[in-house]
Chains A and B, each alone.
Chain A
Amino acid sequence: MCVKHVPDTAATIRIGTDDCIDENITFIMNPYDENAVEEAVRLKKQTIDADVIAVTLGKGTAEATLRSAMAMGADRAILVKSKSSHDSISTARALCAAIQRDGDPDIVFTGKESVDNEGFQTMFHLAACLDVPVVSNAVKFAMTDTTIRVTCEMEAGDLEHIEMETPCVIGAGKDLNQPSYPKLPDILKARKKPLTEIELSDLGIATPASRVEMIKIESIKEERYPEIIDGTADEIADTIVHVLREKAKVLDG
């Protein structure tokens, strides 16, 4: 499965020089990727002879996320090293090349999105590179010898049931499973599991014809204008209805 080393969602993100975020903050495995790892590890427990491999594209520090994936049960890991950041096409191409160099996977699990860029693109580009089908936001997954049955949440509450065959790419949603956290003995074992490092430049990736260019990175100022609503219960209720209707415009009529 593909995992990503991302800033902790609880971290205070600051913009440093050169339009980069200040990376002296806690980084963690992308939370949706935890669902991907969990599902892959569960599948391994049901299937004989499966190899669960965690792959990432990132800086050397991304090793921590690969070790986390191995502590959760992945057998080994591949780190495609690059010092710069990449858009989803380049990332997909790099992951595809690293995956194909390693072997022919039956299933590639990813998270449905990464919490840092929230591009929702990489898994689709990856499937295109691998020339396999892809689903996103999988909330149920079952595999028989020949078929994979996946339930995907399209919009809130709108479920789609899909049958597909391997090889394929599955984007794991939050409701797919409850990731089980590693214990200290797992973390210790993960320190010794094999991790292959590949330089991105060694993969000979073709530069895509069109790319996403990052022009500027800015923090959003969240401004709130709280108002205190006073009065009797009836007056307060009237004011709230007025606010919902006129200001928030969430009530009709």
Chain B
Amino acid sequence: MTKKYDAIIIGSGVIGCPIAYELAKIGYQTLNVDKLPDAGEGSTAASCAIVRAHYSTEDGVAMAYEGFKYWLDWENYLDHAQDEKGLAKYMNTGSILLKSQGHDWRKVQSNYDAVGVAYEEWSVDKIKEMVPVYDLHEFWPIKRPEDPDFFNEPEKMLEGGIYCPEGGYMSDPALSAHNIMRAAEAKGSEFIFNAEVTAVRSENNQVLGITLNDGTEIDAPIVVNVAGPHSYKINQMAEGVYEECNIKTKALRHEVMHCPAPEGYDYLNDGYHTSDGDVGCYYRPEVGNMFLIGSEDPDCDPQEWVDPDVFYAGKETYERNNQLTVEQWNAQTYRCARRVPDMAIPNQPRGVCDLYDCSDDWIPIYDNSSMKGFYMAIGSSGNQYKNAPVAGHMMAELIDKCEKGLDHDKEPLQYTLPHLGRKIDVGFFSRNREINYNSSFSVNG
């Protein structure tokens, strides 16, 4: 028996779930399909789940700042839906953006002013007072530890930082997606797991539905690709879609490290999320009083593009799957340790290795396609977790408007952020855009 839905969403990560939730709220009967056993178990689970407002574009800042309103008011956002696993918790550590040559912080500051983001400018002394474990010398330019200059003694000091009191991270990214799934189910959405999509069916350029690996066909006039690192594979299944996209996505292997905080420093409770373009890292507290260290993708680091199916199956040779490499462990921990010299660096690498779904310009694609009924929310490039609830709402509106006749390619949707009241040109996220050279081309977005 073929069951019919109004919309099928491929993927149940932190963006797929809110799209279902928002569509359900406006009356769509939705079905999410995911090849994994539960919501948020894919690349969402490995996300650092950082919630910060600094982006290189004004709309980027606005969207992220809008996202805060959801994370801060999580239970209301979920409409008090129950989740047997409990609720994810927003940890409002506050966020420091160090003023460095690695970030265009002046642009960020003017974006903050334009959007109305609350912030304070902190001097080096103020940062030192708030975070005594930081060494605030300038270590620029970013190098790898194999470079003998890596260990040069710094001479200059940094200029200070921009502190946002609103900022932090979600305690458990997979759980946050699960929470949204439960909220969506309360509105009538359905989810199936362990179900891999093998075909996107269409006729006369109208999407008809999907086929699963067990042969099951599920029909819907709307199919949304939110497949994370598998996004390009899903686009390739939809006839003509992959080819027509000017901006493509692909999967980038990425590592995050865990190191114990300096002895006597309660980083978990007293620490701040910090974006440190001077050493090309960002870091935030992690359970166990650890530093969680992510990379800002400096030019000197190699990029490893992989086939997501091969990666997740652990098929590729050697340790390249789900395990940290010694070289990158050294690079990220040593860089962070220049800022935090008393941080401990274990002999055994520990952390998380997963994939980014990366677009050509590291800006996501939130768009329809030339195939009627086929939409995409892809290319999150490691920087869209914080925007997930906003993206869900925006995608639902885009889908609803397009289904009711909007020609989004000709007249892009002007989406109003519900809390900030600010309009965003959704055409900014078009699959047909030229590469946006204003982007940071990194996780910073």
Contacts and interface: CB of A to CB of B under 8 A. Distances in A.
A182 B345 contact: yes
A22 B318 contact: yes
Contacts, number: 65
Interface of A: 8-12, 14, 22, 24-26, 28-29, 31, 34, 64-65, 68, 72, 180-185, 187-188
A181 B341 contact: no
Contact of A26 (B325, B334, B345): B325
Contact of B319 (A12, A68, A188): A12
Contacts of A185: 341
Given A14-B318, A182-B344, 6 more contacts: A11-B323, A22-B317, A22-B318, A24-B317, A183-B342, A184-B338
Contacts of B343: 183-184
B346 A184 contact: no
B151 interface: yes
Given A26-B324, A181-B260, A8 B317 contact: no
B344 A183 contact: yes
A29 B347 contact: yes
B314 interface: yes
A25 B323 CA distance: 9
B95 interface: no
A34 B347 contact: yes
A53 B357 CA distance: 48
B347 to A, nearest CB: 5
Interface in B302-334: 314, 317-319, 321, 323-326, 333-334
B319 A26 contact: yes
Nearest to A65: B347
Contacts of B314: 12
Interface in B336-379: 337-338, 341-349
Nearest to A27: B326
Given A8-B348, A12-B314, A26 B326 contact: yes
B323 A28 contact: no
A184 B323 CA distance: 22
Contacts of A29: 347
A65 B342 CA distance: 21
A180 B333 CA distance: 16
A187 B345 contact: yes
A24 B316 CA distance: 12
A70 to B, nearest CB: 12
26 contacts: A8-B319, A8-B323, A8-B349, A9-B348, A10-B323, A12-B314, A12-B319, A14-B317, A14-B318, A22-B317, A24-B318, A25-B318, A26-B319, A26-B324, A26-B325, A28-B348, A28-B349, A34-B347, A181-B345, A182-B347, A183-B337, A183-B341, A183-B345, A184-B337, A187-B345, A188-B151
Contacts of A24: 317-319
Contacts of B333: 184
Given A8-B349, A31-B348, A184 B341 contact: yes
Contacts of B325: 26
The bracket for how many chain B residues form the interface is 20 to 34
A38 B345 CA distance: 15
Nearest to B342: A183
* Residue of B325, B334, B346, B348 most packed against chain A (CB within 10 A): B348
Contacts of A11: 319, 323
A228 to B, nearest CB: 13
B326 A181 contact: no
A47 B325 CA distance: 38
Contacts of B323: 8, 10-12, 25-26
Contacts of A183: 337, 341-345
B154 to A, nearest CB: 13
A34 B348 CA distance: 11
A8 B319 CA distance: 10
* Residue of B314, B317, B333, B345 most packed against chain A (CB within 10 A): B345
A19 B311 CA distance: 26
Contacts of B326: 26, 64
A182 B338 CA distance: 14
A11 B348 CA distance: 11
Contacts of A31: 348
Nearest to B346: A181
Nearest to B338: A184
B337 to A, nearest CB: 4
A126 to B, nearest CB: 23
Contact of B334 (A65, A68, A184): A184
Given A12-B323, A26-B324, A181 B318 contact: no
Contacts of B346: 181
A14 B314 CA distance: 12
A26 B348 CA distance: 9
Nearest to A28: B348
Contact of A181 (B324, B338, B347): B347
B137 to A, nearest CB: 13
Given A12-B314, A26-B326, A184 B345 contact: yes
B79 to A, nearest CB: 32
Contacts of B318: 14, 22, 24-25
Interface in B139-177: 151
Nearest to A180: B344
A9 B321 CA distance: 14
Contacts of B344: 180-183
A11 B317 CA distance: 12
B341 A26 contact: no
Q: Please list the 5 inter-chain residue pairs (A to B) with the smallest Cβ-Cβ separation, ordered nearest first.
A: A184-B337, A181-B344, A24-B318, A25-B319, A181-B346
Contacts of B317: 14, 22, 24
B401 to A, nearest CB: 45
B258 to A, nearest CB: 12
Nearest to A22: B318
A26 B337 contact: no
